């Protein structure tokens, strides 16, 4: 009787440890996948900056006041953008690029010499310092000795009326009679980028 019990126990152990579809136990040398990717991982944005934002380095210093974009009067073929940095109640500085085509591409920035240059689809840039609320103490235009100015449109959506791009411009102070301390002779607006909704005038 004792032999029958021992034999039955051995058979049960043998059958229970040898299932037909059993997955083999991995040895310590087997690689284990420990990378876990959350199922709700958001897609990576392909935009260079958030919608409604603009940015540049102004002589190497971060400059990111509110940016706005507008179509030129009676057209949706070209636009301009500008930003105003208010330093105090009576003091501000403004920057803008105008006459930009609403077409993906990279465009040089010119120094305008006549009225016709203001609507020839070749962008122009400016930077101004204003003190005592209405006194210009520094007007800057593109430095004509340089050829590395540009504004680049990387996306334009005519339905949503949004535009996204980059810019770089080096500006030189225009001669003027008004003197104000601490106004630089030149301004380098570098690493510029924008992503804006274009408004209609």
Between CA 28 and CA 109 the distance in angstroms is: 64
Between CA 170 and CA 97 the distance in angstroms is: 12
CB 149 within 8 A of CB 168: yes
For the entire predicted model, the pTM comes to 0.77
Render pLDDT for 30-83 as a digit per residue (tens, 0 to 9).
444 455 555 565 667 899 999 999 999 999 999 999 999 999 999 999 999 999
**Interval 11-21 mean pLDDT:** 48
The answer to whether residue 19 scores a pLDDT higher than 90 is: no
**Interval 115-138 mean pLDDT:** 93
**Interval 136-164 mean pLDDT:** 97
Between CA 155 and CA 108 the distance in angstroms is: 17
21 Cβ contact partners less than 8 Å away, ≥ 6 residues apart: none
Buried b (16+ CB within 10 A) or exposed e, 156-183: beeeebbbbbbbbbbbbbeeeeeeeeeb
Percent of the chain with pLDDT over 70: 79
How many CA atoms does the CB half-sphere of 70 hold within 13 Å? Answer: 10
């Amino acid at each position: 009787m004792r032999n029958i019990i021992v034999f039955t126990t051995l058979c049960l152990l043998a059958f229970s440890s040898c299932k037909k579809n059993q997955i083999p136990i991995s040895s310590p040398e087997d690689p284990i996948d420990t990378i876990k990717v959350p199922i709700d991982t958001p897609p990576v944005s392909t935009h260079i900056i958030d919608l409604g934002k603009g940015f540049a380095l102004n002589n190497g210093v971060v400059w990111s006041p509110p940016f706005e974009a507008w179509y030129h009067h009676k057209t949706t073929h070209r636009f301009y953008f500008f930003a105003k940095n208010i330093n105090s109640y009576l003091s501000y500085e403004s920057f803008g690029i105008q006459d930009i085509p609403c077409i993906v591409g990279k465009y040089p920035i010119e120094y305008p010499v006549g009225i016709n240059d203001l609507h020839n689809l070749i962008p122009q840039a400016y930077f101004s310092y204003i003190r005592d609320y209405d006194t210009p103490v520094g007007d800057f235009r593109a430095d004509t000795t340089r050829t590395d100015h540009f504004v680049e449109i990387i996306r334009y959506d005519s339905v949503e009326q949004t535009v996204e791009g980059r810019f770089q411009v080096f500006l030189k102070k225009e001669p003027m009679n008004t003197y104000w301390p601490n106004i630089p002779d030149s301004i380098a607006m570098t690493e510029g980028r924008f992503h804006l909704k274009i408004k209609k005038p």
